[in-house]
Structure 1
């Protein structure tokens, strides 16, 4: 009908129901895949770049420096992107494996805290379609996963990009505004999320993924509580209304107290 079912208020959004397919499916898989797969110097490679920038005396930071060199105003995480080539990545093989494992829904981390998008985005040149693998990883996985009859998941961690790197420190390349669309907007350490540019990009990327890849499940890591409420409400409202217009059942998951109860699926 084109009519909007939801308004951008918590009261309205909390009326959304968890899809039956998720209740029935029970088991799903999401996977980390990004630059950190190349940089991996620890069991939790997704965080080793953060440690290398913010905790230089940590064991994992020292391992990072030994492998790649010290972080300087010229050299840093961005310079490792060309080495992340993903030559053996095969979305069809992944999807087949997910299905064989019994997953009913699956998908990738679309963007981790590192600011590198794994899809062909207009919001930043720092994306997998433009550099590194030069492939639209999210797009390839969407086709493969849906092709196997599973629901498609996109996971987002980019709310934490604000302070994942040392954007306040000019002795690192993260402190150079030329790289702000990767490392995050320049600000003083501990400064709250007051940057309009950051919010607009956070919101824009989500809407872009909804429109381009039609995910059934959008999984969020911590950090939604740091984003201005009006942006979060507008995003959730857009996603739920678009799904309603298409006759689809979708879901958002969140950590802790990042959203009011009932707006999405609480993930511990």
Structure 2
């Protein structure tokens, strides 16, 4: 999922705190407009949501193996990489474990979803404090988790024989969670793209299971998929990926070099669908559709230097290395719950949302090391969420390991680690003579603070009283400033 550059000026910071934060930054909150592409008048929920769950689930979950160079969901492509410099670990693993005659599609029956409990997923997402989720309806291997008239390569016709998208959306229908769908526009290999799959070891062309021949990949296949998702499931988010031309050692993928996804057409359909109803709903699409006016920018991974942006954006990141379930996950690459909360605080202080990924097993169960981290994030948010949800940035996001957010009635200081018995903050932070500073999750009495020649010093309790270790961020809420 290569990162896209550019930034939208179309998202509206609709919450009062968000508008105030934008003003402090010197940016005017852009007015909502409905003229272009039939867009609804506003997208009020996305800028305030702040935290969502990404779900990578598919046939690759049955193979459940990635290496240092390739994540598990890229297994089909990694099988075809022959250059050691590009990483041949997956190719060698497959040959050693399954042999040269076993193809990726032979694992479709092993993707069973036999223990898939979408209601349990929804409860977990709610307990994690998420405000939305985004499920992979089709990843780069071309396998769809929903039935559609363009292809039989899907979970209703093959494998689980179930509408996996529909079941999760149905389970969440009475939840406050917004529901989103990821869709890979292109695919690793497809006869319709001029890249039919081949056996990686013999080079012989092999069937693309469930494929129906088309002459126009975009309008007869990709757009049919997207219209089916829009009409049947009414998603609040459309999250595109797999849109560019790439060659990483296993052949060219996703699309030819010269290509037009005609995304303005399909997104006009999406926005009209949301607007043309008695009670219009707010929907958003990310920036990877290669269309005229993205609703928000996506930044992939936590190894980027996040920057404060005037419009809503989203950091999509993983708990480990792989996005799909990986039995070969390196324990050293798995982030702690404290690290995830630190990343959430940093992203939110810079006006972003964090979309945190999980990769269920092929049977639909979520590994304990993923769910336990989600629950810890949720426990932290239950105490400190008032500094996260609906917040807006200050004129700068951070000083060192100290983050700032603003809401309607408070200014929030978020040290990424427990600072000890005293917290020193810069003198221009808006703490005035009448300000009251309270530690969320601590005692209710205001904390003493003094202004010095070097700034402001806030006295803290000798130890934390919120039940978290010192690695977790704390939140100090400043009111009457």
- Structures share fold, TM-score greater than 0.5: yes
Looking at structure 2, the residues matched to 165 and 52 of structure 1 have their Cα atoms a distance apart, in angstroms, of: 19
CA deviation map 1:67-118 (0-9, x unaligned): 2222x5xx41111111111111111111110111011111310000101000
Q: Work out the CA distance in 2 between the residues paired with 1:112 and 1:229.
A: 19
Q: Is contact 1:51–1:61 with CA below 8 Å preserved after alignment?
A: yes
Cα 1:23–1:17 change in 2 (3 A) is farther
Q: CA deviation at 1:198?
A: 4.8
- Aligned equivalents of 2:235, 2:216: Cα separation in 1: 26
Are 1:59 and 2:89 matched, yes or no?
yes
Q: Structure 1: how far apart are the matches of 2:213 and 2:105?
A: 15
The whole-number CA distance in structure 2 between the counterparts of 1:18 and 1:220 is 21
Q: Who is 1:102 aligned against?
A: 129
Is this contact kept in 1: 2:39–2:272, CA < 8 A? no
Bigger share in helix: 1
Quote the residue 1:136 is aligned against. 163
Q: Which residue number in structure 2 is paired with residue 241 of structure 1?
A: 272
Which protein is bigger by CA-based radius of gyration? 2
Give the deviation of 1:24 after TM superposition. Answer: 1.3
Matching of residues 28-39 of structure 1 within 5 Å:
28-39=52-63
Counterpart for residue 252 of structure 1: 285
2: CA distance between counterparts of 1:18 and 1:28?
20
| TM-score when normalising by structure 1 | 0.79
Residue of structure 2 equivalent to 1:68: 98
Structure 1 unaligned residues grouped into runs of 5+: 7-11, 187-194
In the TM superposition, what are the counterparts of 1:1-268 in structure 2 within 5 Å? 12-13=36-37, 19-42=43-66, 44-55=71-82, 58-70=88-100, 72=101, 75-162=102-189, 167=196, 169=198, 171-172=202-203, 175-176=205-206, 178-179=207-208, 182=211, 196-223=216-243, 228-229=259-260, 231-246=262-277, 247-255=280-288, 258-260=290-292, 262-268=293-299
1:201 Cα deviation after fit: 0.3
In 1, Cα distance between equivalents of 2:96 and 2:261: 44
- Encode CA deviations 1:28-86: one digit per residue, 9 max, x unaligned: 1120010000112216210012110243760121112222222x5xx411111111111
Contact 2:264 2:291 (C-alpha < 8 Å) held by counterparts: no
How many angstroms apart in 1 are the aligned matches of 2:61 and 2:42? 33
Question: Structure 2: which 5+ residue stretches go unaligned?
Answer: 1-33, 246-254, 300-481
8 Å contact kept, 2:66–2:72: yes
Query: How many Å separate the matches in 2 of 1:31 and 1:13?
Result: 29
User: Distance between the aligned counterparts of 2:269 and 2:78, measured in 1?
Assistant: 35
